[in-house]
Structure 1
Amino acid sequence: MPPVRLLSTRGRRVDVAELSIARSVMFFYPAATGRPDMPREWNLVPGARGCTAQTCAYRDHHREFRRLGVDVYGISAQDSAEQKDFAGRMGIAYELLSDSDFELTEALRLPTFEFQGRRYIKRLALVLRDHRIESAFYPVFPPDRNAEVVLGYLRGNQT
């Protein structure tokens, strides 16, 4: 994993290379607002819709990840203030990390898309361990099942 530092919803800079020492999950999503104010056209973009459902599924399964000794991090290109507002309203206990400069996205060559002149990270999930990507989940559909799919993988690969 590259030594990229991202701002977290807890106000600290997080080095993603350090996160990958222990087993952890980083899931990426375009943008989560928890509000119905996204433009109607957003739902027509493949893979754009469902960010709130995906992040809330990780919220709902957070204890199960912790029981397995796995930390969870959600990452989007939204600024940290936007993420913090969303996390507070939705009761997200894990950290959200802002890759607003696309530094991690570009270092890992992650897929992105453009919508109304703005760049977004496509939805995917990575299981990390020992400074490397152990497993990748892409494309992610349906978004609300992503946490369960990743948990299934972790339970079946507990070495």
Structure 2
Amino acid sequence: MLQVGDQAPDFTLKTTSGDTFRLADQRGQRSIVLYFYPKDDTPGCTAEACSFRDQYEDFQDLGAEVVGVSSDSESSHQKFTQKHRLPFPLLADIGGRVRKLYEVPRALLGILPGRVTFVIDKNGVIQYIFNSLGGATDHVSNAKKVLQGLAE
């Protein structure tokens, strides 16, 4: 299991805009709030995404980019992004390769993909891991607190 202090595994995935996002390209530039969520347009996932959206400027001011990951398709992500005006990229992890790389467990007796947030500093080191299917908006407030601590 990945732990705080571990180097975040590198990966490359397609974004909602069709661009390629590679974690290693972010090193030395900004922190990353990498959040894995179960499914586009479900109640908890929508609340989480909209909470990240509503506080997005705060994350930017703290030198961080927010990045959401689920196994939904690029077209599903595009619809979800447009419907809720999400200013950050969503990545299509079709097949769950990156979810496995980050050891994100399944939830509710293995039925649902889990909800886990990682705060990764500018050097690519995991500074925080929060695993909770419930309390979707807690992922946002907790990640912000960690970034505020890194900025001090």
> What range describes the TM-score normalised by the shorter chain of this pair?
0.7 to 0.9
TM-score scaled by length of structure 2: 0.83
Give every structure 1 segment of 4 or more consecutive aligned residues whose post-TM-superposition deviation is greater than 2 Å.
16-22, 112-115
The answer on whether the counterparts of 2:36 and 2:99 sit within 8 Å (CA) in structure 1 is no
Residue-by-residue CA offset, 1:105-159 (whole Å, 9 max, x unaligned): 11122112554xxxx5311110112122121111254112321221122112325
Which residue does the alignment assign to 1:33? 41
The answer on whether the counterparts of 2:36 and 2:115 sit within 8 Å (CA) in structure 1 is yes
Is structure 2 residue 17 aligned with structure 1 residue 10?
A: yes
CA RMSD of aligned residues (A): 1.8
Residue-by-residue CA offset, 1:74-93 (whole Å, 9 max, x unaligned): 11111111011110010001
Where in structure 2 are the equivalents of 1:87-106 lying within 5 Å? 87-106=81-100
Offset at residue 20 of structure 1 (A): 4.8
Distance 1:112 1:19 in 2: 27
Give the unaligned 5+ runs of structure 1. 35-48
Which residue of 47, 52, 57 maps to 1:53?
Answer: 47
Moved more, 66-75 or 21-30: 21-30
One-letter amino acid of the structure 2 residue matched with residue 77 of structure 1: S
Q: Which SS does the other structure have where 1:6 is aligned?
A: strand
The answer on whether the counterparts of 1:4 and 1:103 sit within 8 Å (CA) in structure 2 is no
Q: Which SS does the other structure have where 2:67 is aligned?
A: strand
Offset at residue 33 of structure 1 (A): 1.5
Moved more, 65-74 or 133-142: 133-142
Distance 1:103 1:17 in 2: 17
Aligned residues: 141
Change (3 A) 1:104 1:50: same
Q: Which SS does the other structure have where 1:97 is aligned?
A: strand
Where in structure 2 are the equivalents of 1:7-156 lying within 5 Å? 7-21=14-28, 22-33=30-41, 50-113=44-107, 114-115=110-111, 120-129=112-121, 130-139=123-132, 141-156=134-149
> Percent identity of the aligned residues?
23
Q: Which SS does the other structure have where 1:109 is aligned?
A: coil
The answer on whether the counterparts of 2:69 and 2:91 sit within 8 Å (CA) in structure 1 is yes
Q: Which SS does the other structure have where 1:71 is aligned?
A: strand
TM-score scaled by length of structure 1: 0.80
